[in-house]
Amino acid sequence: MRTQPVLVTGATGYVGGRLVPRLLAAGYRVRAMARSLDKLRGRRWSDHPSLELAQADLQDPASLSKAVQGCFAAYYLVHSMNPDQREFTLADRRAAHNFVSAIAKMKLERVIYLGGLGGESPDSSPHLKSRAEVGKILQSGPVPVTFLRSAHILGSGSASFEILRYLAERLLIILIPAKMMGTKVQPICIRNVLNYLVGCLEKDETIGQTFDIGGPDIITNRRLFELYAEEAGLRKPIFITPRFLPASTLGRKLAISLAKLLLPVPPSIAEPLLEGAASQMAVMDDRITRIIPQELMTCRDAIRRAIQKESLQLVETRWTDAGELKPPEWVHAGDAPYAGGTLLQGGFRVGIAASPDEVWPIISRIGGQNGWYYGDFLWQLRGWMDNLVG
């Protein structure tokens, strides 16, 4: 096993946060890179003896060069589609050029990049085109790049899965242009994606190659919604293609605008993903299945597994992990797993320099005539509602 570390950019993101512990379990030394050391230290794997933490930003060449130094390989798992970065295409382009410049000065042997399928078509969404452009920029440098072009990733906590879940659980009737409803996709389970990412590092024949990765099923967007409804025990949604939603760019934009009103995902993230739903995403080259053989999980099994992890609150990472740094006291902030997308659940934690015997009398006096630490009127309103319904 190599003594030099492998760099994982975006280590606090959805994919990166799951890849790091798998690389460590496989025996690799890992250098996890993110913009915030506090977020890295908050991970369960942050104190692993084979792990190094690196604070760096792809928009900051100096910090990036320092993070890359001494590594033998690097995973590029960053893209700028987040709520505080509207111009994600420009940011992604600049980040990729900075990365190429940084690794050109180092003795890096290879880069593994996870992008998306469908970005080469003229009709592709700006998001998919940007992912494809990043791949070309990385490949233009002196270090060989393994480019994995992935279809939709199915997994608990992913933005794509959250969009599927919220729309299926909240809507009995879904208005959608016929073209989007019949678009064929080949989703892949997050477990299979991680196996490919780790496997590429172990297979020299993947160096400098481009591969399509997807699951065993090629299905329509409509069937994907139906599968979720079946596994979640819901009524299948009714799909309607009204005349005011033509199969045109205008129709797609109107459908996307309606969907964004119902989603917990910020518009800057939801819009590119929903636009991508109109693009065909099917594997054209399956060579990687012979180089890195594994049992590919069906869409039904991947959805079932994701639902189970959500219900048991065993989600390793979420799309919300990337981006803004939350206060360390925030244990959880998101959709309650039992609520079907209708209730926000929050949990907070803070250390107190006092014994339980000293703290409990104060806690026991909260409420009633003493009031609460926040929102007295709201608590009184809730009490009134409780009395009203008995």
Report the range of poorest mean pLDDT among 78-82, 89-93, 132-136, 273-277.
Answer: 273-277
Looking at the structure of the chain, the number of domains it has is 2
Q: Are both 187 and 265 inside the same structural domain?
A: yes
Can you tell me the distance from the alpha carbon of 293 to that of 31, in angstroms, rounded to the nearest whole number?
27
Residue 277 included in any domain: yes
User: What is the sign of the dihedral through the CA atoms of 324, 326, 331 and 335?
Assistant: negative
What's the pLDDT at 96? 94
Of the residues 291, 321, 351, the one at which a domain ends: 321
What's the pLDDT at 43? 87
What is the DSSP code (8-state) at residue 142?
S
Q: Are both 117 and 162 inside the same structural domain?
A: yes
What is the DSSP code (8-state) at residue 160?
H
Residue 171 included in any domain: yes
Residue 1 included in any domain: no
Residue 379 included in any domain: yes
User: CA 329, 332, 166: angle at the middle one, nearest 5?
Assistant: 155
Q: Are both 302 and 349 inside the same structural domain?
A: no
What's the pLDDT at 266? 64
Residue 192 included in any domain: yes
Residue 362 included in any domain: yes
Of the residues 294, 321, 348, the one at which a domain ends: 321
Of the residues 321, 344, 366, the one at which a domain ends: 321
Q: Are both 385 and 314 inside the same structural domain?
A: no
What's the pLDDT at 98? 95
The residues near 369 (Cβ < 8 Å, ≥ 6 apart) are none
CATH code for the domain in which residue 70 is found: 3.40.50.720
Q: Are both 135 and 220 inside the same structural domain?
A: yes
Q: Are both 135 and 52 inside the same structural domain?
A: yes
Can you tell me the distance from the alpha carbon of 236 to that of 225, in angstroms, rounded to the nearest whole number?
8
Residue 215 included in any domain: yes
Residue 121 included in any domain: yes
Can you tell me the distance from the alpha carbon of 212 to that of 115, in angstroms, rounded to the nearest whole number?
10
Can you tell me the distance from the alpha carbon of 326 to that of 272, in angstroms, rounded to the nearest whole number?
24
Q: Are both 191 and 311 inside the same structural domain?
A: yes
Q: Are both 24 and 69 inside the same structural domain?
A: yes
- pLDDT bin (cut points 50, 70, 90) of residue 20 is very high
Q: Are both 364 and 301 inside the same structural domain?
A: no
Rounded average pLDDT over 163-182: 75
In angstroms, what CA-CA distances link 278 with 33, 165, 251? 33, 18, 11
Examine the pLDDT at 287 and tell me if it is beyond 50.
yes
Average pLDDT of the chain, as a whole number:
83
